[in-house]
Structure 1
Amino acid sequence: MRLSRFGLVALGAAAVNAFRDTSPFFLASTSDVLANSAYIQTGASLFDTLSSSLSTCPSDYYVVVYQPGVHSTDFASRKSAPRLGAKMLGKDSSIRSKMSVNEVAGLVEPKHIKSLLEEKCKAQTSTIDGSSGSYPSSFEKGPRIIDIEFPMLSLGSDRAQQLAGFDGLLSDIVAQIPSSSKYTILYLTSPREFPETDSVIYETEGDSYHDSIHMELKRDYSSHEGLSDKSTSLFEEYQYFTPGIFMGLMATFLFFAILYIGINALGSLQVPYAAFEKDTSAAVQKKSQ
């Protein structure tokens, strides 16, 4: 099911504001990680899910990526992050587990993920500055955290090109991980715009009452354009037919099958009306004796 066809724009301005401060999350791993995709999830709920999955230390390397200033529509095109998209779409045969959340309401701080891995897995951290474009040719033996922080995307026309460049750098860094080792990519993001930064992004004028009016009119809603007419979803993959749903459907089917057989059995019973009449022949015979 491709939920990008969901008519978000048709819900009006209230729905646009509701999804303004959300951003996507991706997980791709060569290990078996228990995680299910979802369309929308809170940051606290997502962190709880990741804590449960990562506490077992499934991999040797954990690539914790932080990309600020994005929205789910930035990843609507296959060209936006083709290498990460290939892992999420199953085109990379080494990937055994993947998870995507289109809209994460609230931030999942990279430092909390790193603290969890350092505490549970005793992992050491290698920090890479995504803006420099440089990275080591090899990494020390795991368990190890590869911490990558990219700069915030610009709001200009080079936005898509910048995101594709970061995607290429991430792919090159992952390629330096020993082929015999297992790795997990945790792609964390933050929304394009925050209420507290509106005064920086937008120029205001006049008194405070008119400021709020102008600010509301000047907000950047371009991230939501085309949501109703795009035919591709976030990396075109969402998991909704989970093992739990499958077992529930199977149990429901068995229940109705047993109920159907029982009703048919009851309906097929044929009892003659004489069976409900009292047999008086024995009593009459006793009296005659």
Structure 2
Amino acid sequence: MNINELLAQKDKLPNVPEVVKELIQVLSDDNANLDAIANKVAKDPTLSVKILRMVNSSYYGLPRTVNSIDEAIVRIGFERLKILVISSGLSGSVTGEVEGLDIKRFWNESFETGEICKIIAKKTRSVEADVAFTAGIISNIGRLLLHLTTPNRAKAVQTMVDEGADRNQAELDRFQFTSPEAGAALLEQWKLPVELCVAVLQQRAPLNHAEPSPLAAVISMAKQMLAARKRGDSAKQIVDAVSLPLVSLAGVKEGLGDIAEQVVNLEPMKIA
């Protein structure tokens, strides 16, 4: 089996709205026509309803109900709405159950990774926070792809991991490629920015690549921190759990302790 065979199963791939892909493509473009994108979002009833439900959730604590995308932009600003559009579009890309994968837990952990990536990126000079947040959300898209297209092999990998195997090696044993490789190929098919594709590809070991990606280092750091957070580690323990070469590659010059404190106290927005 190869990655192209997975991607050929069009009916099983995540279905991400075109406006979401377009918004991801222009994340770093200061000249992007955001009004046009907002209009496209407003014309997508499913996406609009989900976004408005999130805007009106307790997470934002707005004093009164927001009833339109235009009003949402006024109330929370386009920068925050942009993240909501991406989050909503990605989490809604798969409907129903996914064999061998708790999809609600999958997306909530993905968004938690995104939140931590954003916290880290704000302490760097080379990685934009919105880009880092999006990279964190999509970092595990390859794992989702494997469960959607080859559930039996994906479940076998999970069993091996649960028994103590290294996930990277387990995937190579079962697929001859890894989920980050599959995820990067899917993102390329969606025509997302090269920066995101490379970061997803390199995320498990960015320092092993000839041209290591700072964004990949941010993802890798975020996952180390998330694992420590799940263990109930303190901020100091989270700092100790992070690879210093990754910190250097990500471009975090100072404030690692502050990042860890924010990770400990993080209350991520639950999308799924």
TM-score tier, shorter chain, comes to under 0.3
Larger Cα Rg: Structure 1 or Structure 2? 1
Between Structure 1 and Structure 2, which shows a larger proportion of strand residues?
A: 1
Between Structure 1 and Structure 2, which shows a larger proportion of helix residues?
A: 2
Query: When the two structures are superposed, what TM-score results if normalisation uses the length of structure 1?
Result: 0.24
Query: When the two structures are superposed, what TM-score results if normalisation uses the length of structure 2?
Result: 0.25
